[in-house]
Structure 1
Amino acid sequence: MGSLSSFAKYLVDYFFLPLKALAVKTPQPTPASSQSKTPETAIGTPQRVSNLRQACLIRDRHRCVITRKFDAQEAQKRYKRDRRNIKDDDGLSLLPERDAMAYLEVAHIIPHSLMSVTGEGEWRLTDTKQMAYQILKMFNPDAIHLINGVDIDRPMNALTLTHDLHKLFGNFEIAFSPVGSQPHTYTIDYLESDRMGRIERLPITVTLYLTPDRSIDPPSPQLLKIHHAIGRILHMSAAGDYIDDILYNIEGMESGQVMPNGSTRLDDYVRFRLGGDVNVCILENYLSCYHVLEPC
């Protein structure tokens, strides 16, 4: 039992905590200009993520993949150009939707901030991120190559969502479940069915948009499956609530709020900021022993 408790603590400290903290930090740049570089050649995070946002908007037809709300920023640009002849990407009038639009964001499936780039342009991982990456690799060794280096900012690792749904998705509170063998079709639902803040009416089943020439990759089913698995573990183990409490305390400490009664969790803060070294082989043995890993 002591070994199992230690393993659970390792997972929280070195995987779920940093992953959940990183998941809500997707940068939101303005769309790239028509002369900007492609996602494959862009240099530097702002340009790369800006190109990612543009690619996702094109692929997803400037609509949230869940609610199908049209992007308000793109609608305003088209209205100034076309006035009452304004149309969506399918050639249909947008006028009936003018009161049901939203400002859309690019949401990473696996957090963008998991990868970091140095001032010299070299990719590196801090100790904490390295541990999170190694444990993530255990979920699906065949899928992890999809997010190596700059690949983490490719369309296969991103969705177009409203701000509210981006927050829920990034916090692993909603997830995509594949529907049978139907390609790119998912049921989206809250992982906690009995929740108060039901910002959108879920569940809902959607088929994701694809570009006609398949020039922009659709969201990866493998990465969405990993996201779903992480969300289920966080919810069923109650680790999600525990981590939210830690992150809330960390936010307070960063704003200078340290309670004089000793209730502030300084140990969590220091461990979270400094990271640490944990033997990956030990974690792999734990995962195998407790059947967290599927047989290779």
Structure 2
Amino acid sequence: MSLETAKAKVEAYQDMGAAGDRTKRILQALMLYAPTELGRQNMIMDVNSCDDDVQLKALADRYLTGLIIPFKTMGGRTPAVSDHPTAPDADNAEQKNQGALQVVHREGKLKDRVLQRDNYRCVITGVRDPILAHNPSERAKRDPPFLHTIAAHIVPFSFAPKSESAAKIVQSSKIFEAISRFGGYPFIDELGGNINRLENVFTLTGDMHTLFGNLEMWLEPVEGNTNTYRIGCVPHFASALPYGPLITTYIHGLESAPA
């Protein structure tokens, strides 16, 4: 079934009586903003597989609890992820994820490794970490300024289980299924089950980390340009990004600076 069929089904949805029912908005956004063609097709298929408004609401709740809230929680508590209402393959993917997930803890040396790779700078603004102030030649430079930085996870650290608890592993497996289905990309395979993989962490200042964690700033890959990204943000934060629309990162090198 087509995108038009899915759109019509969502448009015909009747609020289930709860104040602030966001089902229609969530499902429309999922189909519109999935980042890959496969992700968009997955969202269209999910909507078209629903037989009634009850299933449509359950589908929206699945992505609200398994995708939107976990990304915006910034380390706080997340609600239990609801089940997918119609897709048996979601259960199979969750079972596979459970076998791949690694219990993780904060790594004391992770920030040091990320800072070195990113040339001791915020990858968005180019602001220098104070560790560079020990270098006389860096102290002599007036710009960019020195500010404390954070080793920020791209796929959030909170997504990974912190213990062998079955409930925590199931919760994590559901989150990874939801983001992989929406993204059309096997995130857990890319991470190798390890949320602390170096490619999943980059250096940000505190304010950039807040924008990124609140989904108010994001990076979009530039096709044909390796490790180059276009910075996107909600309009009222555009002035917080002083270095223009593109950044280039060097995942396996020692430098990371605004383009």
- Structure-1-length-normalised TM-score: 0.52
1:166 equivalent in structure 2? 209
Q: Tell me how far 1:16 sits from its aligned partner.
A: 1.6
Cα separation, 2, equivalents of 1:203 and 1:189: 10
Q: Tell me how far 1:203 sits from its aligned partner.
A: 4.6
Residue type of the alignment partner of 2:231: I
Cα separation, 1, equivalents of 2:226 and 2:177: 29
Cα separation, 1, equivalents of 2:239 and 2:195: 30
1:249 equivalent in structure 2? none
Q: Secondary structure of the residue that 1:62 maps to in structure 2?
A: coil
1:233-244 to structure 2, matched below 5 A, reads none
Q: Secondary structure of the residue that 1:45 maps to in structure 2?
A: coil
Cα separation, 2, equivalents of 1:19 and 1:189: 16
1:1-296 to structure 2, matched below 5 A, reads 1=13, 2=53, 3-22=55-74, 45-46=105-106, 48=107, 50-72=108-130, 74-76=131-133, 78-79=134-135, 86-87=136-137, 93-97=138-142, 100-118=145-163, 122=164, 125-138=168-181, 139-149=183-193, 151-190=194-233, 192-193=234-235, 195=236, 198-201=239-242, 203-212=244-253
Note closer, same or farther for the CA distance 1:15–1:98 as it changes in structure 2 (3 Å cut): closer
Q: Tell me how far 1:189 sits from its aligned partner.
A: 2.1
Q: Secondary structure of the residue that 1:11 maps to in structure 2?
A: helix
Q: Tell me how far 1:208 sits from its aligned partner.
A: 1.1
Q: Tell me how far 1:155 sits from its aligned partner.
A: 1.1
Cα separation, 2, equivalents of 1:44 and 1:180: 33
Cα separation, 1, equivalents of 2:74 and 2:171: 11
- Structure 1 contact 23–110 (Cα < 8 Å) conserved: no
167-176 vs 202-211, greater mean Cα deviation: 202-211
Q: Secondary structure of the residue that 2:125 maps to in structure 1?
A: coil
Residue type of the alignment partner of 1:171: N
Residue type of the alignment partner of 1:97: R
- Structure-2-length-normalised TM-score: 0.58
Deviations for 1:65-116, whole angstroms, at most 9, x for unmatched residues?
Answer: 11111101x034x25xxxxxx23xxxxx441237711111111010111112
Cα separation, 1, equivalents of 2:170 and 2:218: 28
Cα separation, 2, equivalents of 1:134 and 1:211: 28
Q: Where does the alignment leave 5 or more consecutive residues of structure 2 unmatched?
A: 1-12, 14-52, 78-102
- Structure 1 contact 60–160 (Cα < 8 Å) conserved: yes
Deviations for 1:123-155, whole angstroms, at most 9, x for unmatched residues?
Answer: 863544332122122123433212354x21011
- Structure 2 contact 71–213 (Cα < 8 Å) conserved: no
Note closer, same or farther for the CA distance 1:99–1:115 as it changes in structure 2 (3 Å cut): closer
Note closer, same or farther for the CA distance 1:117–1:197 as it changes in structure 2 (3 Å cut): same
- Structure 2 contact 128–144 (Cα < 8 Å) conserved: no
Cα separation, 1, equivalents of 2:144 and 2:155: 32
How many residue pairs get matched? Answer: 177
Cα separation, 2, equivalents of 1:24 and 1:136: 18
Q: Where does the alignment leave 5 or more consecutive residues of structure 1 unmatched?
A: 26-42, 80-85, 88-92, 219-296
